[in-house]
Copies of this chain bind each other. A is one copy, B any other.
Amino acid sequence: MSLAVELRLRVHDLVETYGRLLDEDKLEAWVELFAETCRYEIISRENREQNLPLSLMLCDNKDMLRDRIFSLREANIYNIHRDCHVIGLVRVTQGVGAAFAATASYALFQSNQEGDSRLFSVGRYEMDLVEDDGRLLIARQIVVVDTGAIPTLLATPI
């Protein structure tokens, strides 16, 4: 085992926090899990495999991510559902220097105001992490989705 136990647990906690903050609708706190220089992208598995640059959502810096959350908050139709992320086993790998990579599959369930729950999206997180001043942050999050239908406008992050 090349990676220290403590590092693995810290990565585990970061991924757990990522899903929980989304579920709790704490989107502003969720943004703060990202490094200042960051990228957030949702892409279909098909496009990912073919290296096509077509994203379902793309924020290539943190301000853009903040703007997106701000827009969601302003939109009237926002929050007509509740998210529940169930994230599977996390794989952690060492990158170069203070960089790490993590991946995990997820299932995202959404429940409407009547309490009906449905499978909304399944896929895989591919995260690049950096250590910044003792804190682990997300430098790049690629959400590779198997599920195709994602409303492109006003969707909450996955």
Does A89 belong to the interface (CB within 8 Å)? yes
Whether A109 pairs with B122 at a CB distance below 8 angstroms is: yes
A interface majority secondary structure: mixed
Whether A85 pairs with B111 at a CB distance below 8 angstroms is: no
Distance (whole angstroms) from the CB of A114 to the closest CB of chain B: 6
Tell which of A2-10, A29-37, A59-67 binds the partner.
Answer: A2-10
Whether B148 pairs with A89 at a CB distance below 8 angstroms is: no
Whether B91 pairs with A16 at a CB distance below 8 angstroms is: yes
Report 7 cross-chain contacts, Cβ distance below 8 Å, ordered by A residue.
Answer: A5-B5, A16-B88, A19-B105, A23-B124, A85-B88, A114-B148, A119-B119
Known: A84-B122, A85-B88. 9 other contacts (CB 8 A): A1-B9, A16-B90, A44-B115, A84-B107, A86-B122, A87-B88, A109-B122, A116-B147, A117-B146
A window 44-90: CB within 8 A of B: 44-45, 82, 84-90
